[in-house]
């Protein structure tokens, strides 16, 4: 993701980036807010939302939009795939390279100039299969 100009790196933005980089749970803004308040007790939820949007526009954070639930955020801005648990809503990275040949084939079949794709995998995570609870993860929407 390319940045869209210079973004001043404030203390709050640095803290948000550091917190995102320290986890692979793809937290929501609310979850990040709860984590950040430990070291930044005066940070507001609206500041977290505003800074996440600015960081996303600058290409420093990836925004994951999951139907029927809050946006999630990822410090890993490389092109990569995710899998979402249909039971608890947990989102995890998939450790394989994006399939760029899909773009070429879609362009060939459609006549479009295909500039990218989003591929969403859905399943049941190991904890849900085992009947274990997930602290900090919202329930997933059935049709998401």
Q: Per-residue pLDDT tens for 117-132? A: 888 899 999 999 998 7
In 3-state terms, what secondary structure has residue 28? Answer: strand
Q: Are residues 51 and 71 in the same domain?
A: yes
Q: Per-residue pLDDT tens for 15-64? A: 999 999 999 889 999 999 999 999 999 999 999 999 999 999 999 999 98
The pLDDT score that the predictor gives to residue 141 is 40
In 3-state terms, what secondary structure has residue 135? Answer: coil
Domain presence at residue 144:
no
Question: CA-CA distances (angstroms) from residue 7 to 35, 49, 52, 112, 132?
Answer: 23, 16, 12, 33, 41
Position with higher pLDDT, 25 vs 66: 25
Instruction: Output the domain CATH number for residue 125.
Output: 3.30.1490.190
Domain containing 25 equals: 8-75
Domain presence at residue 143:
no
The pLDDT score that the predictor gives to residue 5 is 56
Point out the domain boundary residue: 75, 107, 130: 75
Q: Are residues 97 and 128 in the same domain?
A: yes
The pLDDT score that the predictor gives to residue 142 is 35
């Amino acid at each position: 993701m390319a940045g869209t100009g210079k973004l001043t790196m404030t203390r709050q933005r640095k803290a948000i980036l550091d917190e995102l980089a320290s986890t692979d749970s793809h937290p929501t803004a609310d979850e990040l807010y709860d984590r950040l308040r430990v070291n930044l007790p005066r940070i507001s939820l609206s500041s977290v939302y505003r800074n996440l949007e600015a960081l996303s526009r600058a290409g420093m954070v990836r925004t994951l939009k999951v139907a029927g639930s809050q946006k999630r955020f990822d410090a890993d801005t490389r092109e990569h795939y995710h899998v979402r648990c249909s039971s608890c809503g947990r989102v995890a990275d998939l450790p394989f390279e994006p399939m760029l040949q899909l773009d070429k084939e879609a362009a060939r079949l459609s006549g479009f100039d295909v500039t990218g794709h989003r591929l969403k995998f859905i399943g049941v995570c190991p904890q849900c299969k085992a009947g274990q609870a997930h602290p900090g993860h919202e329930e997933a929407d059935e049709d998401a």
